[in-house]
Structure 1
Amino acid sequence: MRRRRNQLGLTLVELIVAFTIMTLLTALALPLARFKVRREKERELRYALTDIRKAIDKYKDACDGNKIPQKMGTDCYPETLEQLVEGVKMANDANGKKIKFLRRLPRDPFTRSTEWGMRSTQDDPTSTGWGGQNIFDVYTKSMEKAPDGTLYSEW
């Protein structure tokens, strides 16, 4: 059938070709979008781990410098992550002023919670259990693997 000049629209073949092109473009873009989301989560995880580890180091420095009281058996490391957020009363301060090391506990981008795996100075560096004495290091509880094959919990 011939088209008249005043008829507008697409033929069935044109629609099928356009739909096929759109499907191919979508199929190519989806893996790139997943890759980008994964990279963003990895970036957030690195930032959160660095933030918590710096706070633990600041706590240790304050304790070693006698700015905050040392509890026996903690080796001058915090007993809980909440101590970093709530703060610790300064030693020899009559006003009860507190030193805070974190504004809030960062969220783990893979588990979507603020619960982190913890290791004390007495724990094995590769253990997934926490001895409970102090907090020397933190890790994600996610069992997912990075593109290089390492577990995110080993970061």
Structure 2
Amino acid sequence: MLQRLRGFSLIEMVITMALVALLASMALPMTETVIRRGHEQELKTALYQLRDAIDAYNMAATAGYIQTSANESGYPPSLQVLVEGVRDVRDVKGGKIYFLRRIPRDPFADQRREAAEHWGLRAYDSPADEPRAGDDVFDVYSLAPGTGLNGVPYRAW
């Protein structure tokens, strides 16, 4: 007596593959959005850290903890100064005040470049609508092209 072999027919296999492809095509855009949202959160965090360090430097300069001349704005001359530290004039041993451990990276920028090159710099004497670099760093912005999920260009964050 012949035994009939059990298995899937060709039609069952095609229907199963079509359902799997449909589910995958629905999940892919959702995955891309989740990844993009994660990068945007990293960008917000990096901008917050940089701006907080710039403000802390300015407060230390205003309070007299950092030696500045009368013609300086009280903002750091570069982002690197925030990492390298500045001499604390209150410390007789010549200690330094550090504002950042490292310059955060822009997650949308080319990761082969140095972290400090990821950011656009705005000097104290430049207008907000046309930021430009100068003798100090008053603010930072992303150089990444594109627009966030909220509809605002990354440059304007």
Same fold? TM cut 0.5: yes
Identity %: 37
When the two chains are superposed, the root-mean-square deviation of aligned CA atoms in Å is 1.5
1:84 aligned partner, one-letter code: L
Match of 1:138 among 140, 145, 151: 140
Match of 2:122 among 96, 119, 124: 119
Structure 2 residue aligned with 1:101 = 99
Q: How many residue pairs align between the two structures?
A: 150
Structure 1 residue aligned with 2:156 = 154
Cα pair 1:118 1:129 within 8 Å, conserved: yes
Cα pair 2:37 2:149 within 8 Å, conserved: no
Structure 1 residue aligned with 2:51 = 53
1:134 aligned partner, one-letter code: D
Runs ≥4 residues deviating over 4 A: none
Structure 1 residue aligned with 2:29 = 31
Greater CA drift, 76-85 or 143-152: 143-152
TM-score, length basis structure 2: 0.89
Correspondences of 1:68-87 after superposition (within 5 Å): 68-87=66-85
SS at match of 2:155: helix
Structure 2 residues not aligned, in runs of 5+: none
Tell me how far 1:112 sits from its aligned partner: 4.2
SS at match of 1:138: strand
Give, in whole Å, the separation in 1 of the partners of 2:141 and 2:36: 18
Structure 1 residues not aligned, in runs of 5+: none
Tell me how far 1:23 sits from its aligned partner: 0.2
